[in-house]
Amino acid sequence: QVIGEGWNRPIGRHDPTAHAEIMALRQGGAVLQNYRLLNATLYVTLEPCVMCAGAMVHSRIRRLVYGAADEKTGAAGSLVDILRHPGMNHQVEIVSGVLADECAATLSNFFRLRREQKKALRLAQRAADKPE
């Protein structure tokens, strides 16, 4: 049963906490009417950051499944491991590397397309602003 879904919205919402994981956890909490998502599994494309990992600990999810590792900011083992840290009051089971190559390619293609769209928009704006 899916209780929540999310995608990154920090720019559109002007909210630095509006990561996909946070949005999904918020929606799951609203659906269950409880911030504790005790038997939930969170599936994500990219290894979560420290903020999202902290939210997972607080929500008490049971398991995280992710595809691509994030060597720069990953908080599920790549940079740090918040989810299994012995000092935390809750540990999260981690399944990593699921369809890792496909996830990495999806992310690369998405951001390449976004850069191309922004470039095309800038060029169109310059052309519109150019006097004839």
Q: Tell me the CATH number at 43.
A: 3.40.140.10
Q: pTM of the full predicted structure? A: 0.86
Residue 26 and residue 85 in one domain = yes
Q: Are strands 63-68 and 93-95 parallel, antiparallel or unpaired?
A: parallel
Residue 79 and residue 93 in one domain = yes
Q: Is 21 one of the annotated active-site residues of the chain?
A: yes
Residue 83 and residue 106 in one domain = no
What amino acid is encoded at 33 in this protein?
A: Q
Give pLDDT tens digits for 47-106.
999 999 999 999 999 999 999 999 999 999 999 999 999 999 999 999 999 999 999 999
Pick the catalytic residue from 21, 47, 102, 116: 21
Q: Using CA atoms, how far apart are residues 77 and 69, in angstroms rounded to an integer? A: 9
For 37, the domain range is: 1-98
Contact present, 81 and 88 (Cβ < 8 Å): no
Contact present, 55 and 21 (Cβ < 8 Å): yes
Instruction: Specify the residue for token string 């969170």.
Output: 42
- Residue 39 token pair: 């038997």
